[in-house]
Amino acid sequence: MSRRPARTERPLAPTAPRRRPTAESSAESPSPAPEELNPASNLSKVLRQRELAYAARSSARTVSSSRRRSSPAKAAAANGSAAPATSAGNTSNSVAPQGRRVRPVAAQVIRNQARPSSGGLHPLTDGRSNAALRAYEERSLGAFDRIVPLLKRLSALQHESDFVAQAQRLALAELGHPLPEPVLETAWTSQLDMRTLFAWCVFEAYEQTSLGFFNDDPLAGQSGSPDAEAFDAFLLECGFHLLDITPCADGRLAHAIAYGLRLPFSSVRRRSHAGAMFSVENTVDRWVKTEHRRYREGLPNPAHADTRYLKVVVYHFSSKDPCHEGCAAHGSDDKAAAAQGLQRLQDFQQAVENSFCCGASVDLLLVGMDTDTDAIRVHVPGRDGRTDLEHWLDAREVYEDTRGLSADQARQRIQELVEQAAASAPDAGMVRLVARLIEHNLAQIDYVRQYHGGSYSDFGHAERFIGVGIGFKEIHLRNLTYFAYMDTVEEGAPDLDVGVKIFKGLNVSRGLPIPVVLRFDYHGAVPGARERAIAHCERVKLAIEACYSELCRQGLLHTLLTVRDRDRHVAAETVSSSITFNTGGGH
């Protein structure tokens, strides 16, 4: 059978009206991005500045949102705000008690002087929601950031006669859990195995983070929660039955859903990929499953309902250092990141239209995010599907335009700005959704101004571990995880290679190992699914050890194998780890 042409004049199904430009764009795509990672900063700067993190966190206090502005011009330049759609909910967690954040492995740790915040929050910002999100961020990241300072203290004590007892007391006080005694008990015969201890502590912190996320729902985004149900209903009103978002795998976008866009995590299908270059084939498969469920179960709405599948790409850029701190997968070229993200979206749309009859199609949305301020820019599409790479709506400009209005006036003005920014006559439902995303992002701009002085001090990479596999529903914190989604190492090799290069600068350069958490979710209702997920973990682990054999041999790469039943709201289950301890005795 001959391949169906891209342009066919077939009748459009009422459930999925096609939205495609009537003429091909004449814009020329930028040259392909280089495959090799171009580090954001040289190694000596990382090593020199990493030690400033602890002192900076100890000496610089949080900038209060009510602090008076000393320079209106400067404050206006750094300003930003948003209205969250979700409350942070219960912020209790089983992680160690809250403490000051320390970034011992952060690249480019430059603490700005206490920059004055605005004279008040944006009228659409909920200060209580920001405070709750801040508490969750400090508590969760603090569990990881206290590891290196603790190990430094243990290094100075390792030859004391009561070292094991002292070490356990310190660990319980600082981290909230004991350390593995086999490592501590051998310190008197040789140097304390810091690499093993570091990886073990990172894995323990991850397990506690996962447990707290699923047990306590600190982001109030669990399926069935009031915020999730309200947003799901709003999404349908806008004409979309599913929101599928692919951010870049960069850890600086790990919080894009729950923080940057303030969306309930259960209302969004998220798959992160390096450069936001998602797999077209896999996404088509997920589209088929979504549409099949609508036909079979009428969920989230019946198949005859006039709604569409919305695919979103979130690329990123840096306002502080655009030539070095942008997307590594695109060579820190903002135009290339946007252009290739749009091309991948259009490839997905073309694949659906070419493969299925009755006018099957999807809607597309391209969003950029400044990793220094969390402000987004939206390339608002027209009703015909046209997207303009050269024009967008900047949330920072929206903030300044609406900060002096009442909440109702600000919402009305945002909608007007969205309509004006569209590439052509816009769809009313898309306008409503984009306006909501912009509104939410204003609160995140305020959040960064309140708690990070207007822009992040760690504007480079500062991830704590690499997440490999499929899952990680619980990861919604900036610079916590570098994602490498994959079924096989061969398939996900580019993503994983970028992550390893990043961690060679963050950890290996200082003699610390690369912590890799493997994760494969499974459907508990399917017989044998858990066992197959575990076997999948083992295969990928062996492939990683073969690919990075020298790092593993030196103890500079450790793995933790986990699985999770995606049909239940439960934490990840640890299966095994590369960290093992000899049990003496026997012949």
Question: What are the beta bridge partners of residue 515?
Answer: 558
Give 29-32's long-range contacts (Cβ < 8 A, gap of 24+). 29/339, 29/340, 29/343, 30/333, 30/335, 30/336, 30/339, 30/340, 31/336, 32/336
**What does the alpha-carbon distance between residue 142 and residue 455 come to, in Å, rounded to a whole number?**
19
Residue where the block lists tokens 């580019």: 494
Q: Are 239 and 361 in contact (CB under 8 A)?
A: no
Q: How many C-beta atoms lie closer than 10 Å to residue 253's C-beta?
A: 23
Q: How many C-beta atoms lie closer than 10 Å to residue 76's C-beta?
A: 14
Q: Which of 575, 538, 559 is nearest to 496 (CA)?
A: 559
Whether cis (ω within 30° of 0) applies to the bond prior to 527 is: no
**What does the alpha-carbon distance between residue 198 and residue 235 come to, in Å, rounded to a whole number?**
43
Q: Which of 420, 383, 406, 445 is nearest to 22 (CA)?
A: 383
Pairing of strands 514-522, 363-370: unpaired
Q: Are 19 and 239 in contact (CB under 8 A)?
A: no
Alpha carbon 266 to chain centroid, angstroms: 14
Q: Are 342 and 47 in contact (CB under 8 A)?
A: no
**What does the alpha-carbon distance between residue 488 and residue 421 come to, in Å, rounded to a whole number?**
41
Both ends of the chain: CA-CA distance in Å? 68
**What does the alpha-carbon distance between residue 40 and residue 328 come to, in Å, rounded to a whole number?**
8
126, 232, 250, 372: the catalytic one is 250
Q: Are 264 and 85 in contact (CB under 8 A)?
A: yes
Segment (H or E) for 517: strand 514-522
Clarify whether 250 is annotated catalytic: yes
Q: Which sequence positions are flagged as catalytic?
A: 250
